[in-house]
Structure 1
């Protein structure tokens, strides 16, 4: 019975795997649009999607903390991705305090504290298991472009110019903060379960956050973009959310395929990242 229930999924996965890249990209877009339509009908208050995204991120970090404290190893985890996560959370927390203090400020505080704990464990307690040679993504490839882009394209609100640039910087940096983790996994080719669960949780969080913004734009018939300001900034916010989702889409595909295939360890083919 168990094998028969998985057989249709395996057949579909095998068919998708045989398709050329353009067909796979088209199928991914169709699947994403179908998911958005489904969410739009079952979730009446789309603000809940943002809370759900925060919850998925928190769940992913909880998986990391369990791995670090119980298994006493940080193998497969990128310290650089955690550093980028802490950086954009710290900047976003600063912006929340000086611009719009709300419930998300509390959520970001808790997430930043947990991320700093993960960094502490990797950097000091479990450094002997850290894959330094595999975690070789150069951070200036993402930090500098995000800083330059923030200087050029930022909100046109009435807030202080420094605060507006910081706000833009954390939005852009969040979109690419997972790249070092993906590079590390591509270097190792094999991803152990807890790391895979963490990255998949990030993928779910990114998709829910992206769905929140897209559906809000649709519900307001574009009015939300005007409320965010003028110029390129509103479009860049939406584009950043979409980029975050697509960066992790390929990994999430292989994760789901691995889970339905009954594999505990995820093996990534070349070219995923």
Structure 2
């Protein structure tokens, strides 16, 4: 593991903790898109299916369990916890997020490294994670009301993605036998779109 991946994991963990702090402690999900959280739950459920078939390390397994558990906890809180549910702005969070899932699945079926069940789902999770933030950004644009914790959550989530791009670049130069070309292609695309 390199420093960029560790920093990315810790930044991602911090973003989840900030969001859980807001939802659990303050009992508010104002400004948070349930649709984005549902997409992230799908991302981690499809990416981490290998937890049942292979063991990499205790750290790897622990982080996968944390991200799976936290994603589904956030969705549960926002859907079923009465105090939190009252603060959810359903009228503004109307992005049709399910329309993102099918194109990502089709893309994963067409463009993957190896046509196996787990590989296609892993590739699908990469594509879906790239667009999962869209409902959150649309919600923030509509409400134009970003509280401190929601802003920190978005900032940390962006930091996590940025650090993972650095991780892919680092691995490209130091571990060419282990680099996935899809990660490199996504990284190059992001660098072209956001110079």
Which bracket does the TM-score occupy, shorter chain normalised? 0.7 to 0.9
Q: Distance in 1 between matches of 2:16 and 2:190?
A: 18
- 2:124 counterpart of 1:166: no
Q: Distance in 2 between matches of 1:213 and 1:82?
A: 25
Gaps of 5+ in 1: 1-45, 229-233, 250-273
Q: Give CA deviations for 1:218-259 in whole Å, capped at 9, x if unaligned.
A: 335xx24xx45xxxxx44322334567898x7xxxxxxxxxx
Q: Distance in 2 between matches of 1:109 and 1:246?
A: 33
Q: Give CA deviations for 1:167-221 in whole Å, capped at 9, x if unaligned.
A: 111111111111111111011122111000001000110011000101221335x
> Where has structure 1 moved over 6 Å in runs of 4 or more?
244-247
- 2:194 counterpart of 1:236: no
- 2:108 counterpart of 1:150: yes
Q: Distance in 1 between matches of 2:187 and 2:25?
A: 33
The counterpart of 2:154, out of the listed 184, 193, 199, is 199
Counterpart of 1:84 in structure 2 is: 39
* Contact 1:86/1:112, CA 8 A, preserved across alignment: yes
- TM-score using structure 2 length: 0.88
Greater RCO, 1 or 2 (C-alpha within 8 Å, sep 6+): 2
Q: Distance in 2 between matches of 1:61 and 1:246?
A: 28
Aligned length: 192
* Contact 1:53/1:205, CA 8 A, preserved across alignment: yes
- TM-score using structure 1 length: 0.64
Q: Give CA deviations for 1:145-179 in whole Å, capped at 9, x if unaligned.
A: 110011001123xxx71122111111111111111
